[in-house]
Amino acid sequence: LLAYSDSSPLKRVLVTDATHSDGQQIRKKKVVVLGSGWSGYSFLNYLNNPNYDVQVVSPRNFFLFTPLLPSVTNGTVEARSIVEPIRGLMRKKGFEYKEAECVKIDASNKKIHCRSKDGSSLKGTTEFDMDYDILVIAVGAKPNTFNTPGVEEHAHFLKEADDALKIRKSVIDCFERASLPDLNEEERKKILHFVVVGGGPTGVEFSAELHDFLVEDVAKIYPKVQEFTRITLLEAGDHILNMFDKRITAFAEEKFQRDGIDLKTGSMVVGVTADEISTKERETGKIVSEPYGMVVWSTGIGSRPVIRDFMQQIGQGQRRVLATDEWLRVEGCDSVYALGDTATINQRRVMEDIAEIFSKADKGKTGTLNKKEFNGVVKDICQRYPQVELYLKKKKLRNIANLLKSANGEDTEVDIENFKQALSEVDSQMKNLPPTAQVASQQGKYLAKCFNRMEKCEEKPEGPLRFRGEGRHRFQPFRYRHFGSFAPLGGEQTAAELPGDWVSIGHSTQWLWYSVYASKLVSWRTRMLVVSDWARRFVFGRDSSS
């Protein structure tokens, strides 16, 4: 309902390819996109508007298919198979790409400051400034260490392709090291103690992949040291996979137990040194230190420094994550959009707008809503406030009318008090979208579609409240559609939680997982590479060179 007013950034950037009467070309609006990950790539892929001059800045010149990254750590899938170079897309679309990192956003001057990567063969960096008319921030997030001492220095992260390759090399190095002569049992045990911190989907999947590698390959390749290996999974909360259905959590915990993965819940890591990892046990408050060979840190994500600095500039310094409205416009700043893991949508509450909604719906200004008036706004309310739909689903009601009926008996007119009461609980259903590829890619697609229709945005100003039928063109707020989530658990078993409370666990789900991910891969080239990696693994086992 809060749609675009005349002063909306979308309206102001409206451009046409028009030429002046003297034949001079009007400058195209410059859209600068930061990032080539799930949200950025999806945005670029769906953007088809010749009226923009599109410039992409990202420190990596490829898109990375992150769901298969854990499989790279043990060589099930090759890193090359899950990256898609972005130069191809750039050429096809006529966009320009610069391999650099944005290190500063200067929102008041509409400029960004960039720095090239310090490559291994090219020493030193190059710095440059770029200006923009519209900025699309899709830089993702960074691993969150919660400032735990020693993590940055001693632990591995699993976020980028390089990370997965480093982990893979490091695992194999541990086995080679432990196989050297003149080590005592204690030392071999230390070197072969693999610690995973964080029981979210990534930590769990990595533990499972590592376990598969130990059981299926290491046993054959390093038979002498196999008995010394141990995997510990540390989780600060009570359960692993706590964002999943309880049945999945229980299945995963049992499976890990059977597999011999040492799962320690309620233990929070307080420090990592070169040789030891220390945890505080929640129940006893005791601090325990254990020697390790390798630590992988996977406890969630935090904002990148460049985003923190930007938030400070635009008055969002107090927030944890950059906030946008439902159209993905950064709050407190013009012409800047943010999507994916970088930002969260600051969803509006129905209760904040309830008086406005009511008076807008009350066409006859009678102070009550009759059935017709009411029906005129139902669709818009559901569209504008996704929590209404979630609430109805939860209450198993078909539409808002039923909600009102339950508050107010049959078909009588409702006054504002009834109206308020009926909707009083819907805001309790608001929750932030998860930081997933699914959300990021849908947001990229959504924003590209808005940009594609920018010119069609009508001239007529839209008030703060807008209902169906007032003007032909308008941008709907972003709506997320959840297609389900997977949690691969190793041993060719996967758990899936699909829409409609459908939980499925086991070997057949693993095949569903294979086919879903093969189909989600962005190109036929990567699809073929991944499928042949899987086949190669089935036939020959994993490669163990580091």
Residue 344's nearest CA partner among 453, 283, 430 is: 430
| Residues 6+ positions from 376 with CB-CB distance below 8 Å | 361, 363, 467, 468
Q: Which of 342, 493, 494, 526 binds ligand FAD (CB under 6 A)?
A: 342
The interface partner of residue 58, options being ligand FAD, Mg ion, none and the CB cut-off 5 to 8 Å by kind, is: ligand FAD
The interface partner of residue 366, options being Mg ion, ligand FAD, none and the CB cut-off 5 to 8 Å by kind, is: Mg ion
Nearest distance, CB of residue 435 and Mg ion, angstroms? 6
Build a one-symbol-per-residue string for 191-220: x at contacts with ligand FAD by CB under 6 A, - elsewhere.
-----------x------------------
Q: Whose Cβ is closer to Mg ion: residue 59's or residue 150's?
A: 59
Nearest distance, CB of residue 160 and Mg ion, angstroms? 9
Between CA 347 and CA 417 the distance in angstroms is: 23
Mark the segment that binds ligand FAD (CB under 6 A) among 24-32, 63-71, 266-274, 383-391. Answer: 63-71
Asked if 440 interacts with ligand FAD (CB under 6 A), we say yes
β-partners of residue 129 are 113
CA–CA distances in Å: residue 258 to residues 253, 262, 264, 381, 491: 9, 10, 14, 50, 12
Q: Whose Cβ is closer to Mg ion: residue 45's or residue 66's?
A: 66
Residue 439's nearest CA partner among 531, 298, 301, 315 is: 301
Asked if 158 interacts with ligand FAD (CB under 6 A), we say yes
Nearest distance, CB of residue 163 and Mg ion, angstroms? 12
End-to-end CA distance of the chain: 57
Alpha helix (H) ranges present in 266-344? Answer: 305-313
Residue 231's nearest CA partner among 217, 249, 211 is: 211
Asked if 45 interacts with Mg ion (CB under 5 A), we say no
The interface partner of residue 67, options being Mg ion, ligand FAD, none and the CB cut-off 5 to 8 Å by kind, is: ligand FAD
Compute the CA torsion angle 340, 448, 463, 329 (nearest 10 deg).
Answer: 30
Residue 310's nearest CA partner among 130, 152, 115, 111 is: 111
Nearest distance, CB of residue 296 and ligand FAD, angstroms? 10
Nearest distance, CB of residue 532 and Mg ion, angstroms? 22
Q: Which of 1, 13, 55, 67 binds ligand FAD (CB under 6 A)?
A: 67
Q: Going by DSSP bridges, is the β-strand pair 156-157/62-64 parallel, antiparallel, or unpaired? A: unpaired
Asked if 39 interacts with Mg ion (CB under 5 A), we say yes
364-423: which residues touch Mg ion (CB under 5 A)?
A: 364, 366
Q: Which of 205, 209, 235, 362 binds Mg ion (CB under 5 A)?
A: 362
Q: Which residue has the tokens 């309830």?
A: 354
Asked if 138 interacts with Mg ion (CB under 5 A), we say yes
Nearest distance, CB of residue 248 and ligand FAD, angstroms? 14
| Residues 6+ positions from 401 with CB-CB distance below 8 Å | 371, 374, 375, 378
Between CA 148 and CA 390 the distance in angstroms is: 38
Task: Return the amino acid letter for 465.
Answer: L
SS3 155: coil
Site of interaction with ligand FAD (CB under 6 A) = 34-40, 57-60, 66-67, 69-70, 101-102, 138-140, 158-159, 202, 304, 306, 340-342, 435-438, 440
Site of interaction with Mg ion (CB under 5 A) = 35, 37-40, 64, 66, 138, 362, 364, 366
